[in-house]
Amino acid sequence: MTTAPYTEARDTSPVLPAARGALSHAVRSALRNRHAPLVAPRLVAEAEPYGDDLQLALYLLYELHYQGFDGVGDDREWDPELLRLRGALELRFLDALRADVPRKASAGEALDAVLVEPAVGDDTGVSTHLQNEGSLWQLREYAALRSLYHLKEADPHAWVIPRLHGRAKAAMVAVEYDEFGAGRAEDVHARLFADLMDDLGLDHTYGLYLDAAPAQLLCTVNVMSLFGLHRALRGALVGHFAAVEVTSSPGSRRLAKAMRRADAGPAAARFYDEHVEADAVHEQVVRHEVIAPLLAAEPRLDADVAFGIQATGLLEDRLGVLLLEAWRHGRSALRVPLAASARHPVSPVELP
């Protein structure tokens, strides 16, 4: 498939989003003005760990390690006060995850649980809903939300590479090599998702839909950075990566069908087609060539790998409940409506 040259201006970074409470307001102010005061520890302790305010504050701090924000100096990435606040927010989030994951399991048991596909006729999943009855406006909302990760796909997982060794490192690099297009810029998965967004009439500007994303979506993105930026959580990051790769192939097959059913365009279907084949292979590599040698070398990480798998499922389930509850009642799942698209106009009947 021949694609047009893809360019994306990066002379400026994303703009800072609107605050959603005292924590995110304080972080936003501190990023704009390094002399602005941060928040009292009491506010962190009282914050809802999965809520909009804490999750946006974390997202803003994590994004300093990726593309940053317009008007925020690159040196703020390692600002001691911001890092101190980030650590407190992370601890609140991590404690909630540890309290809420399902029963303790081994890595093998946790992985076996996500390998089980839903029974025939089970329509509780988001990808199943989109495949069978999703409207074009729902596909556009889904893509806009997922863009907060997919436009930097595989970047958070790359943090684990220097924390592995031997077979586990070699296999992880091999999988990441595929994620980054196997050396071809036009096949980088983030680029393929930008093409998908173009087919759906969305703007593929990095981070553009942050204001529209509910806390449940921010949790699914933040947990990757939480695991990735801490060597102590390297097992959890491997578990997260395994959960993503194991569930990606069947989910992507359904989403490819959803894109074709909605006549979303060839690039929209291609993104998911690519993941059907690639992630079926990646599943086996991650299980047998990353997790197995990692745990053989460091068996104490078994519980952390299981935790990463289970925490991923917990947060994805919470997001799925939000999306399906809204869509099945004809409502938007976004905090801020998508702007009408000139390339893909949606009729009033299609709008929630």
Same domain, 74 and 211: no
Distance spanning both ends of the chain, measured CA to CA: 34
Q: Average of pLDDT values for 300-322?
A: 97
Q: For the segment 97-109, what is each residue's pLDDT rounded down to a tens digit?
A: 999 998 888 999 9
Which tokens sit at 128?
Answer: 């199943």
> For the segment 26-58, what is each residue's pLDDT rounded down to a tens digit?
999 999 999 999 998 899 999 999 999 999 999
Which of 100, 127, 155 is the C-terminal boundary of a domain? Answer: 100
For residue 247, the model assigns a pLDDT of 87
Q: Which residues constitute the domain of residue 53?
A: 22-100
338 touches 202 (CB < 8 A): yes
Report CA-CA distances (Å) from 114 to 199, 330, 341. 31, 30, 37
Residue 123 lies in a domain: yes
pLDDT value, residue 11: 63
Query: Is the predicted pLDDT of residue 297 greater than 80, yes or no?
Result: yes
283 and 204, same domain (yes or no):
yes
Residues 194 and 313 in one domain: yes
Same domain? For 91 and 127 the reply is no
Q: Are residues 160 and 129 in the same domain?
A: yes
Together in a domain, 176 and 268: yes
pLDDT in tens, 264-277: 999 999 999 988 87
User: How far is the C-alpha of 303 from the C-alpha of 239, rounded, in Å?
Assistant: 10
Question: Full-prediction pTM beyond 0.85?
Answer: yes
* Domain shared by 85 and 158, yes or no: no
Q: Which of 59, 77, 100 is the last residue before a domain boundary? A: 100
Q: Higher pLDDT residue, 278 or 243?
A: 243
Residue that has been written with the tokens 């962190």 in this structure? 44
Q: Check residue 47 and give its pLDDT.
A: 97
- Is 139 domain-assigned? yes
CA distances from 203 to 141, 209, 267 (A): 12, 9, 14
251: CATH? 1.20.910.10
Q: Across the chain, how many H-helices and E-strands are there? A: 15, 0
Tell whether 34 and 173 lie within a shared domain: no
